[in-house]
Structure formats: structure tokens, C-alpha cells
Amino acid sequence: MKLKDRLEKELDDLKLADQFRFLRQLTPDGTHSHLDGKPLLNLSSNDYLGLSAWPQLRREFYEQMEHTADDAFALSATSSRLLTGNHPGYLRLEDAVSQMYNNRDSLVFNSGYHANVGILPALTTRKDLILSDKLNHASIIDGIRLSEAEFKRYPHLDLDKLEAILQKESQHYDNIFIITESVFSMDGDIADLPRLVDLKEKYDAMLIIDEAHGVGVFGERGCGVCEEHNLIDKIDIIIGTFGKAFCSAGAYAVMDKTIRDYLINKMRSLIFTTGLPPVVVNWSRFVLGKTIKMQSNRNHLHSLAEKLRTGIRNAGGETCGKSQIVPYIVGSNTDAVKLAEKLREAGLMVFPIRPPTVPKGSARVRFSLTAAMTEQDIERILEIL
């Protein structure tokens, strides 16, 4: 079948299965976004601390920056970091990240996707084994596929099955890498990091934790679930993002110096890409300095999430998780599409989440909460539901 014919047929199949996706034109406005001219409460954002709803932060940033060199506002790094793109903002940002994480070494990347598709291929060989939670993010899966290592997926959050694999396979490979998210973006549930650390120590494995949905939200300083359990120094690589709770762009990883030096030399998604613009890197450092002190905002966010989860369950709905991500699981793609349409008509910006993003038969709408919301917002959501 010719390419265009095949593509058109696959697109038609997606439409029939209610899995067809398209790009919407949205205009953000604080806790709301305008869709087709109508203001909707934005429940689909990853802006977990609600920083985009506080324009005074941007004003303070630019006022501070007026007293620095003009190149701090530059809109392009103009080169990769290994050539001329490693501007001073990078060094200051990595120093700030290191201070947050008990002075461990850190490395900043262009995105969480860049981090996940680059770290595993750089560190592993065909004599290694990667063990991955079955519901890990697509970027982790792509990183595994780009590596030469063998890999196995263990059932979601099933650490007994993970240990069974470790018992069977640990002697057959040079190195074993365990990789998981801390907070899972579709269910809002949380991996058991203390037990994962125990398993990695028991079987001499490398443990990589992707805290994309945990940083800013968990821990006294917002370092994530690893900080909440006092495990920062016991996890080999911790990956975080600036693009969600920290309201910026880019990502970072925390590790020891040897791994950092090796990634700088071998990680293709770091080496072969233009660096982040100085203005973005400097904004990330500015935001980190603020979010460290936002424990009351984190507490408020968790309170809102628990109120919503409890309300959904009390009304007979199906939900799960223990984080700021609250899914409302309906089952079929068609039901999820229809429910999302009705909720948007009622003023809530939610969209259907369908396979392959979630397992077949578990389509849902997902409420992604921010600390800029109020208890009245949650009451309104529950009233509409």
C-alpha cells in the first residue's frame, strides 16, 4: 500500500475508534484558558504550583535582570553546549540544582524527552539489562529502544514481580538498570521509592527515578518524592523537569561526577543539540529560588487533590492515585470523549485520555490541579460532575 493511502486509512481507523487527535488553539488566562473564545478552568496543565497565574513573578524577574548583563536576556544559545553554547546561566543553574539536592552533581538538558532518550543509550551496553515499569512514559520507552541493552517490563508498581526478575537475572548481566517514574502522569499514583532503593542495594543495580511530576510538588524544598523519603543520596540518577511545576523549559538530572562526565562525552541528545536560551535558563534559576519556599502552596495543592478524589469516590466514580493528578476513569473511548465534551460545555477544560496513552478499556478524563486553584473550584468541579 502506498504511503499516503496507508496514512489515510490509519487516520480513518483512529477516527472510528475515537482516538483521533488534533491541535487546539488556546489562549491562557491565569487559572483559565480561552477555547473558541470561551474561558474554561484549565484542568489540563502541568503548571502544578500555578506560577503562570502569577504575573508578578515575571515582573520581578525582569526587574532583577535589568541590573545584569544584556546577554542574560539572549533568546538563543547559538550553539551546542560543547561548543559555544555553555553560557554562564547554565553554570549558575546547575549550581542551584546541586544545592537543592545535597550538593550532588547535576546536568541540565533541553527537555525531559532529551534526558530520557539520551541517558540510557549512553550508559548501557548490550551486556546490560534494563527493568522498566510497564506504565513508564513514552520518552523512557524510546530511550530503552535506542539503547543496545536487553530490557524487560515489570507490571505497574509490582515490586514483587520486579524482585523475581532481579533474582533470576542479576547474575547474567554486567549491570542492571531499574527505571521508573515517581509520580505517574495518567493515574497520579506513586512508586514505592524506599523499597526500590532496598532492591537496588540488595541486587547491586542502578536506580533511575524520573521525578517529572514530583518535583515542585513533593518534599520540603520541592525536590520530589525522593526528598520526601530522604532518599536523595541513595538514588543513582534523579531526573527532574523545569517544564511543569517550575513553569519554565528544560530538564535536569542529579548524579555523581563520573556519570556526569561520561554523559557529557557520550550522550547524543546533549551533544548534538543547540543549548537553551540564556533568558530561559536564568528564569529557571529564578523560579527555583522561589519554589524552594513554597511549602504552603504544596500543602494547599495536596489538600485540593484529596478533596476532589474523595468527592469523586463518594459520588460512585472511579479514581486512583495520591498526587495532584486525579483521573476520572470511565472505560470506553466514546464515553471519555463525550464526558470531556460535556465538561468543556460546563466550563472545565479537560480532554479525553485514551489508548495508547493509557491501557485499553481505561479511557478517562484527567484533572490536573494547580496550587492557584481554590476549594471553591473543586466544589464547582464536583457539582458539575
Gap between the Cα atoms of 47 and 53, Å rounded: 9
For residue 69, the model assigns a pLDDT of 64
* pLDDT digits (tens), the chain, 385 positions: 999 999 999 999 999 988 888 898 888 888 888 888 889 999 999 999 999 988 899 999 988 877 666 678 889 999 999 999 999 999 999 999 999 999 999 999 999 999 999 999 999 999 999 999 999 999 999 999 999 999 999 999 999 999 999 999 999 999 999 999 999 999 999 999 999 999 999 999 999 999 999 999 999 999 999 999 999 999 999 999 999 999 999 999 999 999 999 999 999 999 999 999 999 999 999 999 999 999 999 999 999 999 999 999 999 999 999 999 999 999 999 999 999 999 999 999 999 998 888 989 999 999 999 999 999 999 999 999 9
Q: DSSP per residue over 223-282, as a string?
A: --HHHHTT-GGG-SEEEEESSSTT-SS-EEEEE-HHHHHHHHHH-HHHHTSBPPPHHHHH
Q: Does domain 16-49+295-384 have CATH number 3.90.1150.10?
A: yes
Please tell me the CATH code under which domain 62-291 is placed: 3.40.640.10
- Domain extent listing, the chain: 16-49+295-384, 62-291
Asked if residues 352 and 343 have their Cβ atoms less than 8 Å apart, the reply is: no
Q: Please give the torsion angle defined by the CA atoms of residues 213, 223, 206 and 81, in that order, rounded to the nearest 10 degrees.
A: 90
Q: In 3D, which of 284, 258, 208 has the Cα closest to residue 105?
A: 258
CA proximity to 126, closest of 177, 174, 179? 174
Where in the sequence numbering do the catalytic residues fall?
46, 137, 181, 185, 210, 213, 244
State the pLDDT at residue 18. Answer: 82
CA separation for the pair 217, 220 (Å, rounded): 9
| Prediction pTM value | 0.95
Report phi then psi at 207, rounded to 5: -115, 125
Residue 70: the pLDDT is 65
Q: What is the pLDDT of residue 71?
A: 79
